Structure 1
Amino acid sequence: MHILLTGGTGFIGCELIKHLTGHQITVLTRSPKKAKTALKHADFSNIDYINKLSSFSDLNHIDVVINLAGEPIAAKRWSSEQKQKICQSRWNTTQQLVDLIKKSSHPPKCLISGSAVGIYGDKDKQQVYENAPLAKNGFPYQVCQQWETIALKAHSDKTRVCLLRTGIVLGSDGGALAAMLPPFKLGVGGKMGTGEQYMPWIHLQDTARAIAYLANHNKASGVFNLSAPHPVTNLAFTDSLAKILKRPAFMTTPKWLMNLIMGESSQLLFDSVRAKPKHLTELGFIFTFSHLEPALKQIFHAREN
């Protein structure tokens, strides 16, 4: 297959390319030179780079589009300017891809486009399947709802669309875990607020494997929760992480403090989304890491080697 990949140098994209060997890949990147450095683990012979989608008049030569591009949502406080960056980096690229697909006489067979479990809002202890009601307001909902709406415009009898409602991706070299580790290593880790909020986590390898699986599965379309089958509460996550690191985890970070530090974006830490990957498992996808502790053990083993 010939795959067009946006967001290929990001946390998920770098891992995904490892799972796409044997395919021709075109990576959209603002800096091909930096991209080659970031993807030094990849086989350059099967990767091309472009720095703008206007290089194409259509996508007749592309079999699958995987759209992961977007400004990191948790990297900075949500100022008006930052919110604009988060939205436009997702919406604009997706709209350009949709326009190119519509201009194609032989369009890609599949568009796989990003989204996030934040679209559901705070669901407390309710199990959240793909047909669950969406949030009615909130910035994560606004970002993802419009992102998905744009992507779905590419759907036709020639092009299936898969939407990835991704949870907290855990890996050995970056992502959410990298931000969590410092206080735990210092012995001052602990739960956020009550710790009762559910965290829909997924191992980075399973994230990449699932995306590759959807690209190859001709019947895959619609919404997919990209999260492990067994989400855990923040307290359970904290206890597992402390156990593996052999560090105490007695601290509690109050919600008011994180609101003060992070502002509106602190909702990412306290919204409870007990997401279940029903559609993925019904398609036959098998997770390598279904439970948290084995996933964390593998991640820290990889970090040490």
Structure 2
Amino acid sequence: MKIAIAGGTGFIGKALTSLLIDNGYEVIILSRRDESIKPSANPRTVRWLNDGDQPELHLEGVQAFVNLAGTTINSRWNPKSKAEIVSSRISAVNEIRRIIQNLPKKPRVVVNASAVGFYGTSETKTFTETSHSVGNDFLAETVKKWEEEVLQIEQAGVRTVLCRFGVILDKNQGALSKMLLPYRLYAGGTIGSGKQWLSWVHIDDVARGILFAIEEDSLSGPVNFTAPEPVRMEQFGRQLAHSLNRPHWLRVPSFGLQLLLGEMSMLVLKGQRVLPEKLLDHGFIFSYPNLKDAMTDLFQD
């Protein structure tokens, strides 16, 4: 099976590409950059989103599209960066829809990135895919617009999966890698109140979950990509300290992060308790369902 991945050079894309190749799939990376890769290579690269690009000429026979493309949200938010966060996601979806319209045969499935930020934040509620709550902050509004664009592909008759990612744990990239430095300097501690929920997931389970979504024909619509056991930030910090053999003692006050990060501070000061009901109901088995096992894997010598 041929699978095209937009955003395949990011840390999710790299993990997914490796897993797909190990499982015998042919992978095509959609990239803005020119890559000197032989046409027979796996993965191979096809240019897109540049003036004059016609990626559909090189994508005949693709049976699944995975869209992970979009400007990072991990930068200080201002009107310009917010506009880029939204527009980069919408333009990628629109281009995938255009490509599909121009292929001789439609793919079986489109698996698109999304985020648990869709639900808004809460210290008391639990969210599953059947929850109708939609947040009213910037991140929730962005995810809502993003998903609405993707669902237009579904209306064209292609099975569509919306991967609502939680905080993805990888020691070298993503949010966790940024949390490590204070602990390694013996200055780690609770962020904010510590009561905010952290719905996390191991990078390996993300890659395996995406492959599961590609292969499981009965899975569609929003799917929460979070481990079955979310934790509060206080517990997360203590487990991280234990895994690194470091103290957990220096509290990081909310106002300090707000001054440093501005509106983006909500990513660590607020959260939501999200459960992966659909994945579990469809028979997906997490390799790392609890935080202790996930941390042990990530930081084992």
Settle same-fold status: TM greater than 0.5.
Answer: yes
Q: Does 1:27 align with 2:22?
A: no
Is contact 1:72–1:86 with CA below 8 Å preserved after alignment? Answer: yes
* Shift in Å, 1:32: 4.2
Aligned to 2:47: 51
Q: Does 1:293 align with 2:289?
A: no
Deviations 1:256-294 (A, max 9, x none): 111110000111112221110000111110000000011
- Aligned equivalents of 1:20 and 1:176: distance in 2? 24
- TM-score, with structure 2 as normaliser: 0.93
AA aligned to 1:50 is V
- Would you identify which runs of 4 or more consecutive aligned residues in structure 1 move more than 4 Å? 57-60
- Aligned equivalents of 2:184 and 2:33: distance in 1? 35
* Shift in Å, 1:100: 2.3
Aligned to 1:202: 201
* Shift in Å, 1:165: 0.5
- Aligned equivalents of 1:117 and 1:233: distance in 2? 15
Deviations 1:167-223 (A, max 9, x none): 010113211111000001111111111101110000000000000110011111111
* Shift in Å, 1:31: 2.2
Aligned to 1:141: 140
Aligned to 1:81: 80
List aligned pairs for 1:1-305, cutoff 5 A. 1-21=1-21, 22-33=24-35, 45-52=41-48, 54-57=53-56, 60-74=60-74, 76-156=75-155, 158-301=157-300, 304=301
Q: Match of 1:188, SS?
A: coil
- Number of equivalences: 293
Cα gap change, 1:241/1:256 in structure 2, threshold over 3 Å: closer, same or farther?
A: same
AA aligned to 2:31 is T
* Shift in Å, 1:158: 4.1
- Aligned equivalents of 2:290 and 2:241: distance in 1? 16
Unaligned residue ranges in structure 1 (runs of 5+): 37-43
AA aligned to 1:24 is E
Deviations 1:2-40 (A, max 9, x none): 111011010100000111021111101122449x7xxxx
- Aligned equivalents of 2:12 and 2:240: distance in 1? 22
Is contact 2:186–2:247 with CA below 8 Å preserved after alignment? Answer: yes
* Shift in Å, 1:124: 1.4
Q: Which range moved further: 170-179 or 57-66? A: 57-66
AA aligned to 1:87 is V
- Aligned equivalents of 1:104 and 1:162: distance in 2? 20
- Aligned equivalents of 1:235 and 1:33: distance in 2? 44
- Aligned equivalents of 1:109 and 1:57: distance in 2? 16
Task: Say what the alpha-carbon RMSD is for the aligned residues.
Answer: 1.7
AA aligned to 2:291 is L
AA aligned to 2:13 is G
Unaligned residue ranges in structure 2 (runs of 5+): none
- Aligned equivalents of 2:14 and 2:34: distance in 1? 14
AA aligned to 2:8 is G
AA aligned to 2:99 is L
Cα gap change, 1:294/1:188 in structure 2, threshold over 3 Å: closer, same or farther?
A: same
- TM-score, with structure 1 as normaliser: 0.91
AA aligned to 2:123 is D
* Shift in Å, 1:60: 4.8
- Aligned equivalents of 1:244 and 1:47: distance in 2? 35
- Aligned equivalents of 1:128 and 1:113: distance in 2? 20
- Aligned equivalents of 1:130 and 1:123: distance in 2? 16
* Shift in Å, 1:132: 1.5
Is contact 1:60–1:108 with CA below 8 Å preserved after alignment? Answer: no
Is contact 1:109–1:158 with CA below 8 Å preserved after alignment? Answer: no
Q: Match of 1:20, SS?
A: helix
Is contact 2:46–2:55 with CA below 8 Å preserved after alignment? Answer: no
- Aligned equivalents of 1:176 and 1:289: distance in 2? 18
Identical aligned residues as a percent? 32
AA aligned to 1:29 is S
